[in-house]
Amino acid sequence: MILPSWRDWLFSAKAFLASMLALYIALAFDLPRPYWAMAAVYVVANPLAGATSSKGLYRAFGTLIGASAAVFFVPLFVNAPELLSLVVALWTGCLLYVSMLDRTPRSYVFMLAGYSLPLIALPEVGAPEQIFDVALARSEEIIIGITCATVVGAVVFPTSIGTALSTRITGWLDDAAGWAEEILRGEGALPVTPLRRQKLAADISGLDLIISQLSYDAATRDVVPHARELRGRLLMLLPLLSSLADRLHALKAQEGALSPEFATLLQRVADWLARGRHPDPAEADALIAAMKALRPEEAADWDALMRASALDRLGEIVALWSDCLTLTADIERGQHAGPWRPRFRHRRVVGPARHYDFGLMLFSAGSTVLATLVASLFWIASGWSNGASAVMMTAVACSFFAAMDRPAPFIRFMAVWCGVSLVVSGVYLFGILPHVHDFEMLVLVFAPPFLLLGLMIPRPQFTMLAMLLAVNTASFVAMQNRYSVDFGTFANEGFAAMAGLTFAFVWTVATRPFGVEIAARRLVRAGWADLAQTASGRNRGDSERLAGRMLDRLGQLVPRLAAIEDRELAKVDGFAEVRIGFNIVELQKTRRAVAAEARAAIDAVLAGVVTLYRTRVASRTLVPPPDELCVALDDALRLAAHQEHGEARRTLDALVGLRRVFFPETPGPAGGFLPEHRGQPMLMAAE
């Protein structure tokens, strides 16, 4: 067990200070539910000052939108409870769907606005004339808590979000450097990317989250453009490393061993990467010059093509790595970061495009709508006085975990710890608080549990648990200016909350029995469909966005593959498919510059790729590429090698890339590629 660090203790003390300050202010203004201010602190509390500010701002906006909706809808539909229930359910589900479309911390605005309507509106349906006062008070209490959390986080020993970003970048670069060294020294030169290396794409999501919060931290606002440039280059490194590993594997398989000059160059690059984050920039120029000197002027045969392609990838990796180190240094300097000149300029980096599974998202939102509506109708039919609390907890639980592949275990987790919060709250309400007569004593009795919970929030594996316990305990204690507690009321409210969570759990188990497998398969098929569309001529001017979508898909797929055992899905190499996308787009761009015969051969290759991926989508299996596609690729290689236009090198490189991805174990075409071999058939080497 790892003991809490001094930073954990500092964060916990700051969160507790902010919560007590919020509670004191809310009590001083005699607000009806001051405990909401206390709970709001623990909802937005984060060790990083910028993250606290951003989440606080989003929570304020979400609460105001939800409160405004309550003021509008309750008087309008108060005499039609079934219609009001439908409006509340649709509002919650629609805003939940919008929140899933925005995969940044800003999505919290929409999700919170969605379930704030039932939280504010449903308890007041019996007294609609009070809805404005209740909505106003709720907004005031939430904003007091948010303000206290933000001010304390920014003033009392603030921790800049730039520190967390630098730590994440360093860890990612170390992992990428480790993979690059494996490739360059021979151990990782494989035609298929190992799953543990594909995980690097998933790790970018952690960087995205931090980058999106940089503008809320005064110390890091100036580095936002640099951070976005860095993200694109980090993602671009991944398919290039995968491509280099494949080329080196092919060269060793064909030649038995690399030439001494090439092997020496690879060792130099590996040594340069091993120097960490402070290599000599001049050495990068020297390495790139050495690669140009080794690169053959003409592609005389298949081996020469492979060497040229490997050297091109190596040069791009060195340029990208140098850019990443420069950008990282600029980010660490914070607001002093200035303009920079990129070394990697001949290819556009990966764009910020995202992949969305609209079908599953709509299903999740629809399930939340129905769960909220069914719970509401049961409340109306039964006449249960505390039924509003059950509906509220149903809406909150279903919304909170809607984006999960299997939300039921998380809702069960929430229900269990909600029960624990009820027990703790009961102990305080009936055993401790009757003996407390001033605010100072209240702070002392609240300190032990809330300081311990604050120690858990900075640890990702305990964040959800600690936040649930802190927020639920503060809410169930329901601290007021005057001690007035009735055991019957407390028990009924607690039972209603547990009933709502239990119903949400049962509903989710019944309506969403599928889990990770279906989401993973849909991601794979979406990638295949994207490649088929691109090869058919669509998206051809969108290479960086295509790569962004595919790498984002891979980032979503890898954690799912780690959680299931599916031999078919395990064969999918996400980086290889990104390389296919790059090469298809390159062929679409250069095909018009070649002679008619070569263009027809390239079109035949693209048509074969379209057929292959449409077949995979239709059959839902990883259908192997047909031999006819291999023949088409070899014909296109022969004809493209005879072209003398400026795009010939890019065309050949794209064709080599497709040939290696689709047929990594098939020997390259025999014969020469130079013009004097024009008309000679390209024979396949004997296997």
For the chain, what is the total number of helices (H) and then of strands (E)? 25, 0
Q: What percent of the chain has pLDDT over 90?
A: 43
Task: Please spell the DSSP secondary structure of 361-381, one letter per residue.
Answer: HHHHHHHHHHHHHHHHHHHHH
| Secondary structure E strands in 238-319 | none
Distance from C-alpha of 26 to C-alpha of 143, rounded to nearest angstrom: 10
pLDDT of residue 679: 36
Q: What is the dihedral of CA 121, 125, 130, 131, to 10 degrees?
A: 20
pLDDT of residue 684: 34
| Residues present in the chain in total | 687
Per-residue pLDDT band for 278 (boundaries 50, 70, 90) equals: low
**At what angle are helices 281-294 and 260-274 packed, to 10 degrees?**
160
pLDDT tens digits for 437-446?
889 999 999 9
Phi (first) and psi of residue 669, to 5 degrees: -65, 140
Mean pLDDT value across residues 153-172: 84
pLDDT of residue 425: 92
Asked if 394 contacts 388 with a C-beta cutoff of 8 angstroms, the reply is no
Q: Which two tokens stand for residue 334?
A: 């914070």
pLDDT of residue 451: 94
Any idea which of 119-133, 204-218, 664-678 has the lowest mean pLDDT?
A: 664-678
Q: How many other C-beta atoms are found inside a 10 Å radius of the C-beta of residue 503?
A: 22
Of 12, 36, 10, the closest CA to residue 457 belongs to 12
Longest Cα–Cα distance of the chain, Å, equals 100
Residue linked to tokens 């936040």: 467
pLDDT of residue 645: 58
The ranges assigned to domains in the chain are 6-159+357-511, 161-336, 541-585+593-677
Q: Enumerate residues 6+ apart whose C-beta is below 8 A from 551.
A: 201, 204, 235, 238, 239, 350, 574, 578
Asked if 317 contacts 347 with a C-beta cutoff of 8 angstroms, the reply is no
- DSSP three-state, residue 574: helix
Any idea which of 447-456, 615-624, 672-681 has the lowest mean pLDDT?
A: 672-681
Asked if 468 contacts 421 with a C-beta cutoff of 8 angstroms, the reply is yes
pLDDT of residue 211: 82
pLDDT over 80 at 644, yes or no: no
Q: Which two tokens stand for residue 36?
A: 């909401």
Distance from C-alpha of 471 to C-alpha of 42, rounded to nearest angstrom: 6
Distance from C-alpha of 452 to C-alpha of 466, rounded to nearest angstrom: 9
Distance from C-alpha of 204 to C-alpha of 199, rounded to nearest angstrom: 9
> What CA–CA distances, in Å, run from 70 to 59, 90, 215, 440?
16, 13, 32, 36
Residue 214 CB-density burial (10 A; 0-12 exposed, 13-18 middle, 19+ buried): buried
Distance from C-alpha of 456 to C-alpha of 473, rounded to nearest angstrom: 15
pLDDT tens digits for 192-240?
777 778 888 888 777 777 887 887 777 777 788 888 888 888 888 888 9
Distance from C-alpha of 494 to C-alpha of 419, rounded to nearest angstrom: 8
Identify any residues that bridge with 669 across adjacent strands, giving them in sequence order.
Answer: 684
Per-residue pLDDT band for 415 (boundaries 50, 70, 90) equals: very high
pLDDT of residue 300: 64
> What CA–CA distances, in Å, run from 390 to 134, 153, 384, 573?
19, 34, 10, 46
Sign of the dihedral defined by the CA atoms of residues 31, 35, 38, 42, in that order: negative
Of 395, 389, 394, the closest CA to residue 476 belongs to 389
pLDDT over 70 at 675, yes or no: no
pLDDT tens digits for 352-405?
778 899 999 999 999 999 999 999 999 999 988 889 999 999 999 999 999 888
Sign of the dihedral defined by the CA atoms of residues 112, 118, 124, 128, in that order: positive
Sign of the dihedral defined by the CA atoms of residues 295, 301, 305, 306, in that order: negative
Per-residue pLDDT band for 10 (boundaries 50, 70, 90) equals: very high
* CA-based radius of gyration for the chain: 30
Residue 163 CB-density burial (10 A; 0-12 exposed, 13-18 middle, 19+ buried): middle
Any idea which of 41-55, 383-397, 415-429, 637-651 has the lowest mean pLDDT?
A: 637-651
Any idea which of 248-252, 297-301, 330-334, 547-551 has the lowest mean pLDDT?
A: 297-301
Q: What's the CATH code, domain 161-336?
A: 1.20.58
Of 242, 214, 239, the closest CA to residue 228 belongs to 214
Of 486, 254, 515, 474, the closest CA to residue 386 belongs to 486
pLDDT tens digits for 480-520?
777 677 888 889 999 999 999 999 999 999 998 777 888 88
**At what angle are helices 107-121 and 387-400 packed, to 10 degrees?**
170
pLDDT of residue 273: 87
Distance from C-alpha of 399 to C-alpha of 140, rounded to nearest angstrom: 24
Mean pLDDT value across residues 449-474: 89
pLDDT over 70 at 243, yes or no: yes
pLDDT of residue 336: 54
* Residue that wins the pLDDT comparison between 257 and 304: 304
Of 207, 211, 60, 241, the closest CA to residue 143 belongs to 60
Q: How many other C-beta atoms are found inside a 10 Å radius of the C-beta of residue 382?
A: 10
pLDDT tens digits for 570-592?
777 888 888 998 899 888 888 88
Q: Kindly give the residue spans of alpha helices, DSSP state H, lying in 300-357.
A: 302-332
Q: What is the mean pLDDT of the chain?
A: 86
Q: Which two tokens stand for residue 422?
A: 């009820």
